[in-house]
Structure 1
């Protein structure tokens, strides 16, 4: 059986809607906890790797020393062009590993909104998200790596997604979120939501309004990415 390695930085932020499709495609999903598990074998594997989100910043290495190891392993992996999909913090880690700046943004972007897909994005797996609302949940942002092709932006941030060829995909938003599990996010991130004055009732309602469309589009995006990978 094929294997998907998944690095988590927060237990309830998982593969969400991606899980069923990956299982259907014959992948065995292997989760690893950043800061706890040894990530070396997963990062060295030719099998696809997902790096998921979390509430810490890439630049908080002094507070979370494991980030330095994760970034060093990621640099080696990206140099080998092994299939890697970064989401939110995962995308920021990819950007940092490629030499781009990652820093606190000017606006806490939490909520459902449309992307502006670039011309290159419309020729990428992100084309399935064109016109769809996706879940944004971040305060940090990043500069576009020199090697990266810009795929999408939002009303608040220019760099919402980039790729390097077909193997490396990094998205700032959350195409994987299962809207039926949104309550986990609302509970787990309650401090952040209240500090940012986010309307939790509206966030919950928007998940019901837009979640089903994102589920369909997100799975199509993932399947397209998987179908165009090499080294599997």
Structure 2
């Protein structure tokens, strides 16, 4: 299997996904948009992974490559590719599937629980989902659920936390891929956001304490990747 991933920021890489790729001896390639790199051949990969980023999906003037990226994601879905989007990546998928992406009522930053939906348990390959788990969040926008997609999860601070479309395309608002290293990089690069007012922004010490959830999140990320790519 060959995986291609889109990276939008130097500090938001694959995280533990790289460990899953290495363990399965899959091949991998990438497009780093902040380096102005080119898009791949649409037939060159089996799984497309779209990472997060501090920009918004509608920042076309500041980041003109967003237009080409959205078109490519749309083409990949239409060709039946398996696609996983994380945070910004999930919002981009929702957008190309015709769902609205907008500002969430609150920014959600830190370790907060998500609840998985009954439909996620009954109608998807994720039948062994836990009812609730603590995951890492860092977002200000949210998406509506695309038509014909299954809602996967929600949280107190954000109603729509994930969706699955045609059992091949998944969007996750939260960061299961986070590692100790990527946690340090994200908090170092975007620590000014921790000063903003929101009932769903943790202080740094609380976020650091919540890092005990990283192994559970990574194990779940491996399970999701294995099932999505099966």
Q: Deviations over 1:103-160 (max 9, x none)?
A: 1111001111221111222243384454321111100001111131111111122211
Give per-residue Cα distances to partners, 1:152-171, cap 9 Å, x unaligned: 11112221111112211111
Post-superposition offset of 1:40: 4.2
Q: What secondary structure is seen at the aligned counterpart in 1 of 2:184?
A: helix
Q: CA contact under 8 A between 2:101 and 2:144: conserved in structure 1?
A: yes
What's the CA shift for 1:198? 4.1
- Check if 1:189 corresponds to 2:190: yes
Selected match of 2:208 from 204, 207, 212:
204
Using the TM superposition, give the Cα deviation of residue 63 of structure 1 relative to its aligned residue in structure 2, in angstroms. Answer: 2.2
Q: Tell me what 1:83 maps to.
A: 82
Equivalent in 218, 226, 229 of residue 223 of structure 1 = 226
Decide whether the 8 Å contact of 2:2 with 2:45 is kept in 1: no
The corresponding residue for 1:172 is 173
Aligned to 1:230: none
Q: Can you list the C-alpha shifts for 1:47-97, whole angstroms capped at 9, x where unaligned?
A: 211000000101111222111111111111111121110000000000000
**Residues 186-218 of structure 1, C-alpha deviations (whole Å, 9 max, x = no match):** 1011222233564111111111x2122222222
2:21 aligned residue: 22
Given that residues 4 and 45 in structure 2 are in contact (C-alpha distance below 8 angstroms), is that contact kept between their aligned partners in structure 1?
A: no
Q: Which moved more, 1:88-97 or 1:62-71?
A: 62-71
CA distance in 2, matches of 1:37, 1:16: 20
Partner of 1:134: 135
- Distance, in Å, in 2 between the alignment partners of 1:181 and 1:15 is 9
TM-score (norm 2): 0.90
Gaps of 5+ in 2: none
The 8 Å contact of residues 49 and 84 in structure 1, kept in 2 or not, is answered as: yes
Separation of aligned partners in 2, 1:127 and 1:11: 34
Equivalents in 1 of 2:37, 2:89: separation in Å? 17
Q: Decide whether aligned partners of structure 1 residues 129 and 53 sit closer, same or farther in structure 2, where only a CA change above 3 A counts.
A: farther
Single out whichever of 77-86 and 214-223 deviates more from structure 2: 214-223
Provide the alpha-carbon RMSD of the alignment. 1.8
- The answer to whether the Cα contact below 8 Å between 2:11 and 2:182 also exists between their aligned partners in 1 is no
State the alpha-carbon separation in 1 of the partners of residues 130 and 14 from structure 2.
Answer: 17
Aligned residues of 1:111 and 1:136 also touching (Cα < 8 A): yes
1:204 partner SS: helix
Q: How far apart, CA to CA, are the structure 2 residues paired with 1:45 and 1:140?
A: 31
| Maintained 8 Å contact 2:151/2:164 | yes
The normalised TM-score by structure 1 is 0.89
Distance between the aligned counterparts of 1:13 and 1:84, measured in 2?
18
Measured in 2, the distance between the counterparts of 1:40 and 1:24 equals 24
Please tell me whether the aligned partners of residues 150 and 163 of structure 1 are also in contact (alpha carbons under 8 angstroms): yes
Question: Number of aligned pairs?
Answer: 224
